[in-house]
Every structure is written in structure tokens, then in C-alpha cells.
Amino acid sequence: MNKQATIAEVMGAGPVMPVIVIDRLESAVPLARALVDGGVCVLEVTLRTPVALAAIRAIAAAVPEAIVGAGTILNEQDLAAAQAAGARFGVSPGATPSLLRAVRAGGLPFLPGVMTPSDIVAALGEGFSAVKFFPAVPAGGVEMLKAFAGPFPQLRFCPTGGISAANARDFLALPNVDCIGGSWLAPKARVEAGDWAAITALAREAAMLRST
């Protein structure tokens, strides 16, 4: 996937998009390699730490098999910084009109965050056909996604928030879900311990979720 990927290609690259928080820049490349080794190549690095942009840059340079994107994009400044760092897609927990317009103008494959029908109508109005449903479990989970399928049959979802290996299959079984997001593939304690083998094992399990 060397050319610019579409959001459909990003969502179709695997069942789980890990939501990653990187506190130490030195962890970025080994963590990305551990996930890729387990068969998970789409990585959402959240813009929640001071080193997040440098981490995206480092992964993009050192792990070409990874499709690294930026998460927690809250405004146009975050969007511009993520693109400059080499993010190949973006994710936001929300969807303000100004952010949606900036995304459309900038052309980065993007998942705006939605939680309500009005959020969805706004995203559809700006031309988005795929969204992050956040926070998925607290906001109604599987039943909410089933309800969305009625009025919004054209919309593809990446539910995120409260999903783990225990409930992942329930979400992946839904016809309007292309992939799910979650932080359970990169637990803070494992990352801090540099336990890359454990993370590769978690990734391997996640990559197989649709086939087992």
C-alpha cells in the first residue's frame, strides 16, 4: 500500500486497529515492529503525549510495512501536524464542522468520531462514508450499531472504546462494522517493560479474530 490509502483500504487491512499511547519515543519503533510481526499493520498513534508526532515520524521511516495514522485529532492544528509527521490516516473522537471541512480540504483518509444520529448526519453531510463510533460500549455498543443500520445503511463503522478480546467478535459480526479499535493490543505495562513478544502475541490473536 505505497500510494495514498483510502479510508476503506485502511479499515479493510485487518479486523483491529490498535489505539496506541506512546510515552517514550524509544518505544515507538519496537512497538510498531511487534504489532506488525503479529500481523497488525494499521496503527493509530494517539496525539496524547508530547512525543506522539515524533513517534509517527519514526514509525513511518523505520517500519514501512506499517500504515501509521494519528488518533485524537481534535482540531485543524492537530490535523496539519499529523499530516506533516507522515500520518497516512487520521482518527478523531469527535466531529466538529470546522474539523470535518479541514479534513475534506486536506485529503487525509479520516475517521471522524460519532456517537449520535445528529453526529452521523453531520458527517454524511460533509461526504464521509465511514466513521469511528466512540465510545462504543458506553454509548450503546452492539445494539446501537444495529439501530444505526436502519437509517444509515450506507455508513461503515469502526467502533472503539470499551472493546477487548472478550467482546471483539460481537462487534466484528455486525454487517456495518469494517474493523474495531482498541487499546488492548498495546497495554501500558507491557510497553513500559519492553515485552514485545507479549504484544506480538496479542496482535496475532487480534489479526485472527475474523478467521477463528
* Residue written as grid cell 486497529: 17
Q: In the structure grid, which three cell numbers stand for residue 110, read together?
A: 479520516
Q: Give the one residue of 30, 162, 187, 194 binding ligand 3PG; rule: CB under 6 A.
A: 162
- Residue 71: CB atoms within 10 A of its CB come to 29
Candidate segments 100-108, 118-126, 180-188, 198-206, binder of ligand 3PG by CB under 6 A: 180-188
Candidate segments 58-66, 140-148, 151-159, 160-168, binder of ligand 3PG by CB under 6 A: 160-168
Q: Is 133 in the site for ligand 3PG (CB under 6 A)?
A: no
Q: Is 25 exposed, middle or buried (0-12, 13-18, 19+ CB in 10 A)?
A: middle
Per the residue annotation, which of 3, 9, 26, 44 is the catalytic one? 44
Q: Is 182 in the site for ligand 3PG (CB under 6 A)?
A: yes
Q: For residue 146, indicate whether it is catalytic.
A: no
Tell me the site size for ligand 3PG, rule CB under 6 A.
Answer: 10
Q: For residue 44, indicate whether it is catalytic.
A: yes
Exposed e or buried b for every residue in 115-149, given b needs 16+ CB within 10 A?
beeebbebbeeeebebbbbbbbbebbbbebbeebe
Per the residue annotation, which of 9, 76, 132, 143 is the catalytic one? 132
Q: How far apart are CA 88 and CA 73, in angstroms?
A: 13
Q: Which residues are catalytic?
A: 44, 132
Binding site for ligand 3PG (CB under 6 A): 19, 93, 134, 160-163, 181-183
